Copies of this chain bind each other. A is one copy, B any other.
Amino acid sequence: MSKIVSLDEALSHVIDETSVMIPGFMGAGTPDKLVEGLIAKGVKDLCLICTDTAFPGVGVGKLIERDMIKKVMVSHIGTNPETGRRMNQGLMEVDLIPQGTLAERIRSAGAGLGGFLTPTGVGTVVEEGKRKIVVNGKEYLLEEPLKAEVALLRGTKVDKKGNIWYNAATRNFNPLMAMAAKTVIVEACELVEVGEIDPNNVMTPGIFVDYIVKGDA
């Protein structure tokens, strides 16, 4: 029962209208081969959950500039003018979420919580439509968990059981998304034998990972 599959096999889990989580910070930590695979496959009307929409031609930015995304749930779109243009023309829905809240909502889904209380966004437009709860005299917003059908990850080192180690700032949303999607696919920059990653330093346990695709690197 090997988890290592072809790009096509892995991406068979993404069809039109699938909700997809893709990590990355302005492209760093984004699985480029899987993103390219989505473009080649030509799926559309995806709901994309990501930190930012990167730059034009970079990371998830490539998905934005094609007609693939129906809705994006994201914290920052300023570095990719195409996102704003499509939003203003009504071609794509943009749900802006504070970055810490986005991270915590994804973690919350993966950890089986019903949500959490955060001070972030109290007194701003972010509180619209949300329940406010007072704990110890302080007001918080109740933020609900956010899950997806598929998560596409990028691991610097991945062993054949799916244990992942991320280098430097590429970690960002990867370990959170690994727990919050029904199907989890990782692009392995370097595929190593089981046991090569110290069990102490595994950042995403292999039990969260369904499929491994070898990266191009």
**Residues of A participating in the B interface, judged by any CB pair closer than 8 Å:** 104, 108, 111-119, 131, 133, 135-136, 138, 140, 142, 144-145, 165-168, 171, 198-201
Contacts and interface: CB of A to CB of B under 8 A. Distances in A.
Given A142-B133, A200-B167, A201-B201, A112 B117 contact: no
Given A135-B144, A165-B200, 15 more contacts: A104-B111, A113-B118, A114-B118, A114-B119, A114-B135, A114-B140, A116-B117, A131-B133, A133-B133, A136-B144, A167-B200, A168-B199, A168-B200, A198-B201, A200-B201
B114 A133 contact: yes
A189 to B, nearest CB: 14
A199 B165 CA distance: 13
Contact of A114 (B108, B138, B145, B166): B138
A173 to B, nearest CB: 16
Contacts of A133: 114-115, 131, 133, 142
A214 B206 CA distance: 35
Contact of A115 (B116, B131, B167, B168): B116
